[in-house]
């Protein structure tokens, strides 16, 4: 009898409480991103060779020969890594010299898998990888962020040099899926 | 004895078949995070995305209009990433003029555990809720991230 009373009291207590539930969904669809930029800008660099005195070795005149490579990249987890390649798109390097480019290690405020650089390349009309294994990453924007690219000239054959020769070259950098 | 059995029957019926309070939730938040959200190459996505102020609407309908109601919130992940931080806040009292409602006016993180969101008394219609998400980044694998936000009312 007592037990029955306890059960009744318990049920009455339970019945005085109420509970209900509802829900909404939050969904975020992320997109693939592949953005590339040169800093401070993509203006022309001028490289020249000169000697101070007759008989001296010709050397590259020190000039502003640097650019910074910034990028943002977002990839599917199943997608291949990305790379950045460089090639001479237009024009021809004057005879007797190489146009070279060195790529620094990554610097600045960026995060993620920003890739691995190839230190020095001789530029040509064939596409060459300068940074590989880029996945989800951003370098930060502006000078001091990403990879510093340094262009310079190297003489490989003095007898081919023509000091009256000049050339305008167009160089392209491309961020691609491998 | 017969009376007791009758009372027991009533109590059991009440427990099983009565619903003392109901909550109706409407309005999902679906957001496409586009490459155009990145202002310039080298940057990440904006640190914060915010929904409309009335992205989700709650209607709470209790049988007893004098009891305090507690609203809890939690999330149940469908596809999620630990870097993502989803928050919710209440932006108004609802549309039926009932001002007996307290709390929930500043953003609070929605976790996988039920947490107190706000309290109220009586019937409330279309209480507007706003969401904020942080942690979205190009560093995350590209996919759709989704979670179910569960609201529980109790009194």
- Are the C-beta atoms of B71 and B114 separated by less than 8 Å? no
Q: Please tell me the CATH code under which domain B19-154 is placed.
A: 2.60.40
Least confidently predicted of A16-20, A148-152, B57-61: A16-20
pLDDT in tens, A50-90: 877 777 777 777 678 999 999 999 999 999 999 999 999 99
Q: Mean pLDDT, to the nearest integer, of A101-120?
A: 97
CB atoms within 10 A of CB A110: 22
Which chain B residues are Cβ-neighbours of A35 within 8 angstroms? 35, 38, 40-42
Does the CB of B63 have a partner CB in chain A at under 8 Å? yes
Q: Mean pLDDT, to the nearest integer, of B127-135?
A: 98
Q: What ipTM does this complex have?
A: 0.89
CA of B139 vs chain A CAs: smallest distance (Å): 4
CA of B76 vs chain A CAs: smallest distance (Å): 9
Q: Residue B86 and residue B113: Cα distance in Å, rounded?
A: 13
What is the residue-wise DSSP string for A53-81? STTSPPEEPP---EEEEEEEEE-BTTSPP
Q: What is the 3-state secondary structure (H, E, C) of A122-139?
A: ECCCCCEEEEEEEEEEEC
Residue of A22, A71, A139 best to disrupt the B interface, most CBs of B under 10 A = A22
Going by C-alpha positions, the residue among A111, A108, A115, A106 that lies closest to residue A134 is A115
Structural domain boundaries of chain B?
19-154
Classified as helix, coil or strand, B107 is coil
CB atoms within 10 A of CB B145: 24
Which chain B residues are Cβ-neighbours of A11 within 8 angstroms? 8, 11-12, 14-15
Beta strands in A31-65 (DSSP E): 33-39, 49-50, 59-60
Q: Residue B129 and residue B73: Cα distance in Å, rounded?
A: 12
pLDDT in tens, B49-92: 999 999 999 999 999 889 999 999 999 999 999 999 999 999 99
DSSP state of A144: T
**What is the chain B residue with the closest CA to A108?**
B42
Inter-chain touch A28–B12, beta carbons under 8 Å:
no
> Tell me, what's the pLDDT at B10?
47
CA of B33 vs chain A CAs: smallest distance (Å): 5
**Mean pLDDT score across all residues of chain B:** 91
């Amino acid at each position: 009898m007592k037990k029955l009373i306890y059960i009744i009291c318990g049920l009455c207590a339970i019945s005085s409480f109420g509970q209900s539930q509802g829900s909404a969904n939050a969904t975020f669809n992320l997109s693939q991103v592949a953005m590339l930029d040169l800093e401070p800008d993509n203006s022309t660099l001028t490289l020249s060779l000169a000697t101070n005195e007759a008989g001296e070795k010709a050397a590259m005149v020190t000039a502003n020969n640097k650019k910074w490579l910034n990028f943002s990249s977002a990839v599917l987890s199943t997608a291949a890594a990305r790379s950045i390649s460089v090639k001479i798109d237009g024009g021809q390097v004057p005879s007797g010299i190489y146009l070279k480019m060195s790529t620094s290690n990554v610097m600045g405020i960026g995060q993620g898998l920003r890739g691995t650089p190839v230190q020095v390349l001789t530029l040509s009309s064939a596409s060459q990888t300068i940074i590989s294994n880029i996945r989800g990453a951003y370098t930060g924007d502006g000078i001091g962020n990403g990879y510093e690219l340094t262009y310079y000239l190297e003489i490989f054959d003095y007898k081919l040099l023509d000091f009256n020769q000049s050339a305008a070259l167009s160089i392209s950098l491309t961020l691609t899926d491998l | 004895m017969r009376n007791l059995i009758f009372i027991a029957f009533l109590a059991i019926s009440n427990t099983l078949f009565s619903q003392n309070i109901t909550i109706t939730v409407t309005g999902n938040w679906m957001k496409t995070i586009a490459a155009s959200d990145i202002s310039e190459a080298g940057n990440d996505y904006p640190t914060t995305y915010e929904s409309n102020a009335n992205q989700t609407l709650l209607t709470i309908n209790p049988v007893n209009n004098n009891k305090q109601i507690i609203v809890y919130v939690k999330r149940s992940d469908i596809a999620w990433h630990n870097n993502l931080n989803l928050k919710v806040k209440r932006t108004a009292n609802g549309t039926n003029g009932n001002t007996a409602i307290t709390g929930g006016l500043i953003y609070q993180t929605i976790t996988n555990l039920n947490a107190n969101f706000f309290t109220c008394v009586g019937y409330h219609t279309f209480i507007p809720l706003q969401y904020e998400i942080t942690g979205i980044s190009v560093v995350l694998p590209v996919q759709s991230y989704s979670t179910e936000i569960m609201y529980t009312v109790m009194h």
